[in-house]
Amino acid sequence: MSLRATLRAVPTLLRIGVAETVAYRAEFLVWMLTTTLPLVMLGLWTSVASEQPFHGYSSPDFVAYYLATLIVRNLTGSWVVWQINEEVRHGQMSMRLLRPVHPFIQYGVSHVAAVPLRGLVALPIAAIMLFTTARESMSHDAAQVLLFIPSIVAAWLLTFAFLFALGSFAFFLDKAMSLMEVYFGVFAILSGYLIPLSLLPSWLRTLADWLPFRFMLSVPVEILTSRSLGAGRAAELVAAQWIWAAGVLALALTLWRAGVKRFEAVGQ
């Protein structure tokens, strides 16, 4: 499995990924609509803040925060645990392992291929966000906003590697999906998906600082919306994101290797 062979396979894998996304477009759309949580929280907190600002957050601040959350979540969302779990249970994993490209690349490329279609949903939201009341609640620092690009890429890689590591547990446990449920609960709180991190009780906020979840979602959202962050601090946060991503990636590949060693093909 040389690097050149892998690189040669990438365009084909991308084409397959796009074809898959287009073939199951109705399903795909429904999956995207399931990310309604930010919209519900948006409805809730804007009406709470319309009575009076909530801990310094006005209604437009909440609109900006949750729309940015929706965009980041749409671009970085990953279903790789579900894929690995299904393939292990139905015995299709052996086929995937036979291919001469590392499964991390195979799954990763199929996720990347879905990004343009996901962008189709996320971009109109961004436009609405920029041209309605939320404009004032966005960051006006151009350097800071530019940092959003490396930040979202790092967030994608970190999320994907983390979930790939979780998916590797499908080789050890038959309940990898409940692991996913636990993950989502922790992620939703400590990444700022449910509530802005600054509104959490202080002990939870400290916990969030020391765990990777914040770097999956809250950091790119803060970079887009925070007016007090500044480009310097933003650059530090992006660097921390990349360090986390590299660490988790190494862990994921190790776990995967250990899992494959144990793998006994079930099914046909």
Partner 1 sequence: MIRYLRLFGVQVRASLQTVMQYRADFFVQGAMSLYWLGWNLLPLFILYEDRTAVAGWDFPSALVVIAWFVILRGILEGAINPSLVDVVDKIRTGSFDYLLLKPADSQFLVSTARFDPWRIVDVLGGVALLVYAFVQLGRWPTVADVAAGSLLLASGVIVMYALWIGIVAASFWVIRLDNLTYLLDAVFDTARWPAQIFKGAWRIIFTFILPLALMTTYPAMAILGRIELTTAIACVAASLGLAIGARLLWIGAVRNYTSASS
Binding site for partner 1 (CB under 8 A): 24, 26-27, 30-31, 33-37, 40-41, 43-44, 46-48, 50-51, 54-55, 175, 178, 181-182, 185, 188-189, 194-195, 199-201
CB of 149 to partner 1, least distance (A): 29
Cβ atoms within 10 Å of 132's Cβ, excluding its own: 12
CB of 204 to partner 1, least distance (A): 8
CB of 33 to partner 1, least distance (A): 6
By beta-carbon proximity to partner 1, the closer residue of 22 and 44 is 44
Cβ atoms within 10 Å of 172's Cβ, excluding its own: 12
- Measured in degrees and rounded to the nearest 5, phi and psi for residue 55 equal 45, 45
CB of 172 to partner 1, least distance (A): 16
Q: How far apart are CA 88 and CA 50, in angstroms?
A: 49
By beta-carbon proximity to partner 1, the closer residue of 148 and 213 is 213
Q: How far apart are CA 126 and CA 70, in angstroms?
A: 9
By beta-carbon proximity to partner 1, the closer residue of 10 and 188 is 188
By beta-carbon proximity to partner 1, the closer residue of 7 and 33 is 33
Q: How far apart are CA 241 and CA 218, in angstroms?
A: 11
By beta-carbon proximity to partner 1, the closer residue of 1 and 40 is 40
CB of 178 to partner 1, least distance (A): 7
Q: How far is CA 18 from CA 22, 25, 66, 98, 183, in A?
A: 6, 10, 28, 22, 28
If we measure between CA atoms, which residue out of 219, 186, 239, 208 comes closest to residue 72? 219
By beta-carbon proximity to partner 1, the closer residue of 14 and 200 is 200
- Measured in degrees and rounded to the nearest 5, phi and psi for residue 217 equal -140, -50
Please give the structure tokens belonging to residue 157. Answer: 């890689």
If we measure between CA atoms, which residue out of 44, 67, 255, 42 comes closest to residue 169? 255
CB of 248 to partner 1, least distance (A): 23
By beta-carbon proximity to partner 1, the closer residue of 44 and 239 is 44
CB of 158 to partner 1, least distance (A): 22
Please give the structure tokens belonging to residue 16. Answer: 């397959």
CB of 42 to partner 1, least distance (A): 9
By beta-carbon proximity to partner 1, the closer residue of 43 and 124 is 43
Cβ atoms within 10 Å of 213's Cβ, excluding its own: 23
DSSP string, 76-89: H---HHHHHHHHHH
